[in-house]
């Protein structure tokens, strides 16, 4: 039936989707077009899958949803077809993942809900005989869109549309996204992100587990349950290091484990009345035999000549990007055949000729240009560019066999007009020079400094402002 319905729609939608709204008890109630965290409950953020649209049955009797569809306003084509019955006073949330499943099942273009962050229209329509009747619609603009903020009705179903973002640091109307419940209800606990640093720990690494979470009424406890090789389970409290119980960052450090150990962990977040628990995650500890580490990454060279990181006399947004590695071990390492890659692919391959990196020695790869005046090993990306994305990317160092040696994933801090650095070199946590009192925004092929005047703000404070 659905396939036949889609064929029928091809000739009907453009002609009749904007006919006069049909008075009905089913209404659009809330839309979230710009996710930046997990909303569909799989604890994995995806910009397409975590968009959502909520409808509500404002009537007094159950409503058969057959022949109701959601249309994306930009193309006037269906992105989701409803089925089943919606009880009186009940809410139904359609996530991007639901839309994808429906599109695959109906041989339609797989676009999810395809909500445009710069403004769009959402239409709820009903197929009635040969007519396509508009039941409800929402048109929103750029000013209505914020990351992890929804656009909803107050009160439900028939009220005026407004932006719901209680956790907006600049203010807001006191309401927050509430998928699946009334827009005036106390919103549920929400885990925005769970991070692990380093992503692939070795036997010499402490592993930092961090979680960004928020709750309208405040979070009372955050616990990290973990075990090693399915034994010796613990569940310590995580420490609030930035923000506050309404919206903050909590962290806990797992001490180094033996090579080959498997560590499983999950995060539990509670307020005074409820809680939410993440799925189990885990990692296998690698042997710490190779001393090379990623040490400094510049994705966003400062403007004007101050951003001339490769010292060739020209500031170039691509050529002056660089990745620095350092031998933190006690033995020299030949890196011929090793690779640097980002999320898009391999960006540099060190040549076949022996490239021996002595203990404490630095190696820097620039995006392009003609690096000038450096002592030591300096290269230009063999692919022609490093292509580091300012808003977020993953940089990986691999050996000649393709085994991962070190990884660093960054977010919006990459667009800060300064490098991301380990402080101190080698085993320190990733931060920005300005956050640890360093005067220079970058320092290719040289130490990141051995001392500093620490600022009162912390890296966790910066991370929690990602929204």
pLDDT tens, position by position, 192-203: 889 888 877 888
- pLDDT confidence of residue 73: 78
298: closest CA among 383, 197, 414? 414
In the chain, what percentage of residues exceed pLDDT 70? 88
Strand order in the sheet with 119-128: 77-81, 68-72, 119-128, 131-141
**In contact, 83 and 66? CB cutoff 8 Å:** yes
Out of 2.60.40.10, 3.30.390.50, 3.40.50.300, 3.40.980.10, the CATH code matching 190-284 is 2.60.40.10
70: closest CA among 117, 32, 36, 114? 114
- Name every residue whose Cβ is closer than 8 Å to that of residue 299 and which is 6 or more positions away in sequence: 321, 388, 389, 390, 393, 410, 414, 415, 420
pLDDT tens, position by position, 204-257: 889 999 999 888 778 999 999 999 999 889 999 999 998 889 889 999 999 999
Block residue for tokens 């979470």: 213
pLDDT at 24 over 90: no
Q: How many CB atoms lie within 10 A of CB 42?
A: 13
pLDDT tens, position by position, 301-339: 999 899 999 999 999 999 999 999 999 888 899 999 999
Q: Alpha helix locations (H) across 195-297?
A: none
The torsion of the CA quartet 181, 182, 184, 187, rounded to 10 degrees, works out to 10
- pLDDT confidence of residue 171: 46
**In contact, 209 and 194? CB cutoff 8 Å:** yes
pLDDT tens, position by position, 338-380: 999 998 899 999 998 899 999 999 999 999 999 999 989 999 9
pLDDT top residue among 295 and 403 = 295
Domain 2-164 sits in CATH 3.40.50.10800: no
Q: Name the average pLDDT for the chain.
A: 86
Pull the structure tokens for residue 345: 């692919």
- pLDDT confidence of residue 247: 85
- Sorted by where each begins, the domain ranges of the chain are 2-164, 190-284, 292-464
pLDDT tens, position by position, 251-285: 999 999 998 899 999 999 999 888 888 889 999 88
3-class SS of residue 149: coil
- Name every residue whose Cβ is closer than 8 Å to that of residue 303 and which is 6 or more positions away in sequence: 315, 417
Out of 2.60.40.1260, 3.20.20.70, 3.40.190.150, 2.130.10.10, the CATH code matching 292-464 is 2.60.40.1260
pLDDT top residue among 52 and 167 = 52
How far is residue 120's CA from residue 94's CA, in Å, rounded to a whole number? 17
Whether 2-164 and 190-284 share one fold: the answer is: yes
- Name every residue whose Cβ is closer than 8 Å to that of residue 249 and which is 6 or more positions away in sequence: 210, 211, 212, 240, 241, 242, 243, 460, 463, 464
pLDDT tier at 172, thresholds 50, 70, 90: low
Burial of 106: CB neighbours in 10 Å, binned 0-12, 13-18, 19+: middle
């Amino acid at each position: 039936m659905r396939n036949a319905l889609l064929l029928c729609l091809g000739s009907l939608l453009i002609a009749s989707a904007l006919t006069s709204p049909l008075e009905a008890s089913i209404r659009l109630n809330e839309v979230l077009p710009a996710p930046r965290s997990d909303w569909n409950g799989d604890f994995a953020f995806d910009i397409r899958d975590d968009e959502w649209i909520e409808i509500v049955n404002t009537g007094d009797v159950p409503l058969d949803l057959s022949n109701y569809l959601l249309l994306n306003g930009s193309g006037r084509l269906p992105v989701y077809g409803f089925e089943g019955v919606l009880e009186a006073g009940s809410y139904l949330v359609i996530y991007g993942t639901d839309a994808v499943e429906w599109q695959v099942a109906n041989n339609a273009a797989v676009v999810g809900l395809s909500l445009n962050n710069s403004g769009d229209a959402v239409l709820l329509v009903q197929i009635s005989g040969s007519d396509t009747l508009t039941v409800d619609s929402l048109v929103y603009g750029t000013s209505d869109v914020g990351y992890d903020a929804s656009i909803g009705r107050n009160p439900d179903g028939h009220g005026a549309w407004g932006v719901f973002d209680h956790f907006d640091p600049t203010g807001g109307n006191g309401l927050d996204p509430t998928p699946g419940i009334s827009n005036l209800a106390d919103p549920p606990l929400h885990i925005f992100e769970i991070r692990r640093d380093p992503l692939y720990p070795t036997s010499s690494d402490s592993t930092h587990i961090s979680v960004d979470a928020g709750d309208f009424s405040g979070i009372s406890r955050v616990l990290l349950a973990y075990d090693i090789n399915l034994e010796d389970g613990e569940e310590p409290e995580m420490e609030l290091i930035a923000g506050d119980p309404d919206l903050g960052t909590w962290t806990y450090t797992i001490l180094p484990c033996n090579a080959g150990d498997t560590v499983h962990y999950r995060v539990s977040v509670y307020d005074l009345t409820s809680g939410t628990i993440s799925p189990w995650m885990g990692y296998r500890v690698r042997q710490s035999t190779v001393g090379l580490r990623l040490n400094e990454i510049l994705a966003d060279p400062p403007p004007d000549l101050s951003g001339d990181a490769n010292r060739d006399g020209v500031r170039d947004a691509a050529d002056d990007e660089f990745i620095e590695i350092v031998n933190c071990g006690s033995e020299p390492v030949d890196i011929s055949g090793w690779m640097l890659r980002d999320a898009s692919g391999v960006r540099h391959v060190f040549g076949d000729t022996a490239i021996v990196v002595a203990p404490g020695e630095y190696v820097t790869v620039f995006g392009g240009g003609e690096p000038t005046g450096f002592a030591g090993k300096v290269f230009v990306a063999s692919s022609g560019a490093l292509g580091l994305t300012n808003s977020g990317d993953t940089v990986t160092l691999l050996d000649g066999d393709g085994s991962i040696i070190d990884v660093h994933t960054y977010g919006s801090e990459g667009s800060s007009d300064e490098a991301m650095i380990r402080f101190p070199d080698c085993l320190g946590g990733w931060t920005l020079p300005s956050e640890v009192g360093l005067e220079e925004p970058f320092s290719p092929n040289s130490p990141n400094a051995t001392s500093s005047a620490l600022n009162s703000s912390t890296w966790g404070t910066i991370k929690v402002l990602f929204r």
